[in-house]
Amino acid sequence: MTEKRSETGDGPVFDYTSSAPWEQVIRAYGDVTDVDEAVREMVADGLSKDEAWEAIWDYEVRRFEHDPAFRTSVRDIYRTAGVDLLSVTPWTHDSSISERAGQRRDLARWQSRFDSADWLRKVTSPEQARRVAAEDDVGIVLNTQNVDGAIDGSLADIDVLYNEGVRLFQLTYNYQNRLATGCNDPAEGGLSKFGRAAVDRINELGGIVDISHCGKQTTLDTIEYSDKPVAVTHATCQAVAQHYRGKTDQELEALSDADGYIGIVTLPWFIAPGVDEPTLDIFLEHLAHAVSIVGADNVGLGTDFYPADSLFPPELLEYYKDHIVELGFDREKVEQRTIAAGIGEFETYGNWPVVRQRLEERFPEAAEGILGENFLDFWERSQGNATDGW
């Protein structure tokens, strides 16, 4: 029987992952070749690749609902990884519906998982997160990666998302939207008036303002404007490797001055663009640089590993590349290396312990904080006098 973390003395481990591990879908079907065959059959029957994508995740959810043995096998994925708390993004690939509608549909999928497994729990506060980790359960912190797309111009929908359990609110994805400018948009604008109103409402509710995909001016504007500390949940350091998904030293210094938080990704085409066989060493260099500016108490992990998993179904690989280019990523950078081969020894989510091992070797005094305590401490101070805390 696995000991509870409260009994072993280990602290909570938090990771921003963007989705459930691919291994959940793979196990639902049998193996990756079965997934590929299922996609081929669906396409032959007239479905598009985005519809096939949605269908395979729907099938995983149904298996999770009705098959106790499958739920146990999924629990083993997280236990092997050693991750207690994950932040995931309800999203959709279905181009026939709006992003807002797609997010609601995927929120329902996640709620179905929560309802089906007592060990998988929706986490909406740092206090609850600590309890979940101590009880050896798995906590999910829901996020949105494009507030404008999720609310479609209605500030009231921020409340709707919050009431459904969303706690991390990323203002933009890569492109310009009504709130602000994204990190890979040619415009150099910052936070708009509507964006300020959105930040105000997120602060009032007690949500976390996330600026991971925001452009430089948006990042600086939001840090200065927000009444509460803000987060960069999953990004890189441009001083280590130049990529638009990174933050400059100026942005990191502003984040530090405002007592903010940054999580570092492991996606190889972000942290080591153009490098043929990057290893986790470059990931540690990004971490070390962030620590040198923001401080060891304000840095954590946001591997965002979901699309990099070597178990990614080959039948969907080219489709997914096209999809992320549509979302604002440069095709040239996407094509510089495969997006589904992991990085070094970190090839599947089950290999997550190697991330912990390398982290503990490089930062022995700061490892526990970086693994999870720093995020939870940030979450606590970012709540301030939120409305739901009155």
- DSSP string of 248-301, one letter each residue: -HHHHHHHHHTT-EEEE---HHHHSTT-SS--HHHHHHHHHHHHHHH-GGGEEE
**Residue pLDDT, tens place only, 269-307:** 999 998 989 999 999 999 999 999 999 999 999 999 988
Residue 68: Cβ-neighbour burial (10 angstroms; 0-12, 13-18, 19+)? exposed
Least confident of 13-17, 153-157, 172-176, 324-328: 324-328
Q: Give mean pLDDT, residues 50-59.
A: 96
Confidence band of 9 (pLDDT split at 50, 70, 90): very low
pLDDT at site 289: 98
pLDDT at site 385: 58
Tokens representing residue 387 in the block: 């409305």
Q: Give mean pLDDT, residues 105-112.
A: 96
Residues 6+ apart with CB under 8 A from 274: 336, 337
Cβ–Cβ under 8 Å, residues 278 and 268: yes
Q: Give mean pLDDT, residues 212-241.
A: 98
Q: Give mean pLDDT, residues 47-56.
A: 96
User: Does the structure show a pLDDT above 70 at 6?
Assistant: no
Least confident of 58-67, 168-177, 239-248, 378-387: 378-387
Average pLDDT, the chain: 94
Q: So where are the chain's domains?
A: 5-22+74-384
Contacts 24+ apart (CB under 8 A), 277-283: 278/343, 278/344, 279/343, 279/344, 280/343, 280/344, 280/345, 280/346, 280/354, 280/355, 280/358, 281/344, 282/240, 282/241, 283/343, 283/355, 283/358
Decide if domain 5-22+74-384 falls under CATH 3.20.20.140.
yes
**Residue pLDDT, tens place only, 309-347:** 999 999 999 999 999 988 899 888 777 767 889 999 999
CA–CA separation, 358 vs 356, rounded Å? 6
Report the percentage of the chain scoring pLDDT > 90: 87
- Per DSSP, 367 falls in state H
pLDDT at site 17: 94
Confidence band of 107 (pLDDT split at 50, 70, 90): very high
Q: Give mean pLDDT, residues 57-76.
A: 98
> Computed from CA positions of residues 269, 34, 82, 364, in that sequence, does the dihedral angle turn out positive or negative?
negative
CA–CA separation, 249 vs 247, rounded Å? 7
pTM of the model: 0.94
Cβ–Cβ under 8 Å, residues 227 and 384: yes
pLDDT at site 390: 40
Confidence band of 5 (pLDDT split at 50, 70, 90): very low
Closest CA to 300 of 383, 234, 228, 379: 234
Cβ–Cβ under 8 Å, residues 332 and 269: no
pLDDT at site 386: 58
**Residue pLDDT, tens place only, 125-136:** 999 999 999 999
